[in-house]
Each structure stands twice: as structure tokens, then as C-alpha cells.
């Protein structure tokens, strides 16, 4: 009699649970019913507590009946879960999309402003007949200093100016080692190359960075003279900026060129007048802030290749050539009116998206 009563109670509880499960309207409600039915304190589990009143022969019969009820409730839960998932999918598919609504839009990336300016400079040099060349950024002392006529006591060899990897290995301080490698590889003139890439120096402030980009031009051939250098640089700057750009040369010193010159160009802000058209671009004395009223801005270094450099690469003694180097960041700052070089490397999307 006790076994029969417990089995009937089990069946009634199972029936009520299945009806409730089939009527469930959400996954949260379904989870609550699962706990209520077959959890540790579930209604089906409570029925089994009466097993202690049964004889040893009847207990397996109640256990088997309970397992069958639990399986049927689990099946009902599984069917209800699928029913709710299908209903949610159908509701989602019934949502009407207005295809005429404007989209959120895509934010497309672009080339970094430094890379844009580098490509612009190289393109101008391509048109002037230079061929692009690259080299390693970790460089041996021979290519970075010795072959370029740097004496052993030159300040550039000091650790305060150069990043040393080892006693004779450095992070290149300029792109000139590319010239040495190209001359050694080719073995004889003529050659016209534009070496470019990253260079490294112990220097950091608003106008200098420990890592920056440089481009150098090298033109080697028979009969090359200073007039070729001046004509090439003038054409280069007039093409890179504007045809009205003024160019002047000032005597200077570089270990790898002789004679050497610093090259100035007319100020991009005031056009060489010393007074900017926009009053905001002038200082408290009414002079252009960029050129400090001089009308000129230093833009690059240049010169005729020193014979000692040709000697280091075993070129003929009667060969001549000229070289010049320009900082990409310097050009970018002038073209875009940027006063702090560090802005290029802060990865501020508000700044980069302007280019």
C-alpha cells in the first residue's frame, strides 16, 4: 500500500511539472522549474524521502519509477528549451529592417603621416633619377662611422649621442651606411640612390626624437660638380614644396662631404618675408614665429662626397659625387605646421585622423 501511494504521488508531481514546463514563457522561468523539479530540494527528490518506509524489496521499484519520472521531466525541459529558442529566433527574423536608414559608417584607416611624407619625398627623388635603397638598422661601426670618414674622437661616436649594441655595433645614426653598402655592392660608378629608413640618436625634445626617419640622396658619376648638387637640391625643394620656394646654401661641415653646406629654404609660413600673413603666426614683436623673422628655415645638409669616402669603397680617384640628407619628420612638421615632433608617435586618433 505504501509503495503504491508513493508511486501515485510521484506520477501526480511529474504530471504537474510537465504541464508547468510546457507553459513556460522564458528561459529564466524554465531554469527555475528545473531546480524546483530535480534539484536537491526538488519535488521529485522529496518523494524519494519516503523510501525509508518501504521494505527492501519495494525500494528498487520506487527508485526505478523515480528515474523514469526524472527522464520524462528532463525531456520536457529539453523540448521547452528548444521551443523557446525557436520562438526567439522567429521573433528576431520578423523584425523589419529599414534598409534606407543611414548606416553608422566605417572608420577606415590610412597611412601614417610620416609614411605619407616619406613616400612623397621618395617620389620626387624617383622623378629626379634616384633609385630607392634600404639597409640594416643595426649597423657595424665600419659602415656607420669609419667608411664615412668619422675620426675615432668624433662626438658622434660618444655614447651620449649613439645607441651602442656592442663595442663595434650601433643602431645606425643616419642612413649614410646605405650609401657605403651600395657602393661596395656595385663596385663601380655610376650610381644614383635614395637611401631611406629609421635612424636612432640619443636625443629627445619637442623637435627631436630618439627614433626618426631620414632620406639621403647619393649621385656618383664622372664629371659631377657642385653645380649639379645645387641644381638637384633646388629642383627637389621646389617640387616638394612650391615652385616659388627660395633656396640658399651656407658653408658647413660634415665628415663625409667636402665642401659641405647647410641648405635653407624660404619660410613656409611667411613666404620668406619674415612676417606671416596670419597675425596669430607672428610673435610678440610682429615677426614670424617659425623663422623668427629671418625668412629662412634650415631644411637639409649636403655636400660633395669626400675623397676619403670613395677611398674606403675603392672607387677610382677621379670619380666625383654629391650627397644630401633630409629628415622626414622635419618636412612633415613644416608641411603641416606641427611644432612638437612627439605628436607623431603618441598614437592619438584625433591627431592622426587629420591626415
The pLDDT tens digits for 4-27 are 666 666 677 767 777 777 777 777
In this structure, the number of other CB atoms found within 10 A of the CB of residue 297 comes to 19
* Contact between residue 214 and residue 328 where contact means Cβ atoms under 8 Å apart: yes
pLDDT, one tens digit per residue, over 173-232 is: 999 999 999 999 998 889 999 999 999 988 766 667 888 999 999 999 999 999 999 999
- Per mean pLDDT, which range of 268-277, 298-307, 315-324 is the poorest? 268-277
Question: How far is it, in rounded angstroms, from Cα 290 to Cα 154?
Answer: 31
- Per mean pLDDT, which range of 47-51, 61-65, 143-147, 226-230 is the poorest? 47-51
Question: Does the bond joining 259 to the residue before it have cis omega, within 30 degrees of 0?
Answer: yes
Residue 108: is its pLDDT beyond 80?
A: no
Nearby residues of 172 by Cβ (< 8 Å), 6 or more positions away: 135, 136, 137, 138, 139, 143, 144, 199, 200
* Contact between residue 32 and residue 25 where contact means Cβ atoms under 8 Å apart: no
Question: How far is it, in rounded angstroms, from Cα 187 to Cα 183?
Answer: 6
- Per mean pLDDT, which range of 214-218, 256-260, 273-277 is the poorest? 273-277
Question: How far is it, in rounded angstroms, from Cα 309 to Cα 238?
Answer: 29
- The pLDDT, as a whole number, for residue 117 is 93
- The pLDDT, as a whole number, for residue 202 is 82
Q: What are phi and psi of 26, to 5 degrees?
A: -150, 160
pLDDT, one tens digit per residue, over 282-314 is: 888 888 888 888 889 999 999 999 999 999 999
**Closest to 248 (Cα-Cα) out of 260, 265, 236, 232:** 265
Would you report the helix, strand and coil content of the chain in percent, each value rounded to 5?
Answer: 45, 20, 35
Exposed, middle or buried, 9 (CB in 10 Å: 0-12/13-18/19+)?
Answer: middle
In this structure, the number of other CB atoms found within 10 A of the CB of residue 220 comes to 25
**Closest to 68 (Cα-Cα) out of 90, 88, 92, 48:** 48
Q: Is 154 helix (H, G, I), strand (E, B) or coil?
A: coil
Longest alpha-carbon distance in the chain: 123
Q: What is the DSSP string of 23-88?
A: T--SHHHHHHHHHHHHSTT-HHHHHGGGGGGS-TTTHHHHHHHHHHHHHHHHHHHHHHHHHHHHHH
Exposed, middle or buried, 50 (CB in 10 Å: 0-12/13-18/19+)?
Answer: middle
Residue 271: is its pLDDT beyond 60?
A: yes
Average pLDDT over the chain, rounded to an integer:
84
The model's confidence at residue 128, banded by pLDDT at 50, 70 and 90, is: very high
In this structure, the number of other CB atoms found within 10 A of the CB of residue 314 comes to 10
Q: What is the value of pTM for the model shown?
A: 0.67
- The pLDDT, as a whole number, for residue 205 is 66
- The CATH class given to the 113-352 domain equals alpha beta
Question: How far is it, in rounded angstroms, from Cα 18 to Cα 201?
Answer: 78
**What is the Rg, in whole angstroms, of the alpha carbon atoms belonging to the chain?**
40
Amino acid at each position: 500500500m505504501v509503495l503504491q501511494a508513493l508511486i501515485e504521488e510521484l506520477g501526480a508531481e511529474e504530471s504537474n511539472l510537465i504541464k508547468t514546463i510546457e507553459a513556460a514563457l522564458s528561459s529564466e522561468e524554465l531554469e527555475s522549474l528545473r531546480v524546483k523539479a530535480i534539484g536537491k530540494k526538488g519535488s521529485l527528490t522529496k518523494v524519494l524521502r519516503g523510501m525509508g518506509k518501504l521494505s527492501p524489496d519495494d525500494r528498487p521499484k520506487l527508485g526505478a519509477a523515480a528515474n523514469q519520472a526524472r527522464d520524462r521531466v528532463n525531456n520536457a525541459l529539453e523540448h521547452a528549451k528548444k521551443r523557446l529558442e525557436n520562438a526567439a529566433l522567429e521573433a528576431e527574423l520578423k523584425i523589419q529592417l529599414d534598409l534606407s536608414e543611414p548606416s553608422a559608417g566605417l572608420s577606415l584607416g590610412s597611412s601614417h603621416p610620416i609614411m605619407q611624407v616619406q613616400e612623397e619625398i621618395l617620389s620626387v627623388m624617383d622623378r629626379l633619377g634616384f633609385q630607392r635603397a634600404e639597409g640594416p638598422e643595426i649597423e657595424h661601426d665600419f659602415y656607420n662611422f669609419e667608411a664615412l670618414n668619422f675620426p675615432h674622437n668624433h662626438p658622434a661616436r660618444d655614447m651620449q649621442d649613439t645607441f651602442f649594441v656592442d663595442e663595434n655595433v650601433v643602431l645606425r645614426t643616419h642612413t649614410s651606411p646605405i650609401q657605403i653598402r651600395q657602393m661596395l655592392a656595385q663596385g663601380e660608378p655610376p650610381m644614383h640612390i635614395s637611401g631611406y629608413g629609421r635612424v636612432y640618436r640619443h636625443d629627445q625634445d619637442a623637435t627631436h626624437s630618439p627614433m626618426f626617419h631620414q632620406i639621403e640622396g647619393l649621385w656618383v658619376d664622372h664629371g659631377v660638380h657642385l653645380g649639379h648638387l645645387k641644381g638637384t637640391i633646388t629642383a627637389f625643394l621646389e617640387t616638394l614644396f612650391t615652385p616659388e620656394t627660395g633656396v640658399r646654401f651656407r658653408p658647413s661641415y660634415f665628415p663625409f662631404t667636402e665642401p659641405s653646406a647647410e641648405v635653407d629654404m624660404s619660410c613656409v609660413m611667411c613666404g620668406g618675408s619674415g612676417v606671416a600673413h596670419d597675425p596669430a603666426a607672428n610673435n610678440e614683436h610682429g615677426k614670424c614665429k617659425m623663422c623668427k623673422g629671418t625668412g629662412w628655415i634650415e631644411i637639409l645638409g649636403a655636400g660633395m662626397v669626400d675623397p676619403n669616402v670613395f677611398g674606403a669603397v675603392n672607387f677610382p680617384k677621379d670619380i666625383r659625387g654629391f650627397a644630401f640628407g633630409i629628415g622626414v619628420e622635419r618636412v612633415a612638421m613644416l608641411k603641416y605646421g606641427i611644432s612638437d615632433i612627439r605628436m607623431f608617435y603618441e598614437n592619438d586618433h584625433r591627431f592622426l585622423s587629420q591626415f
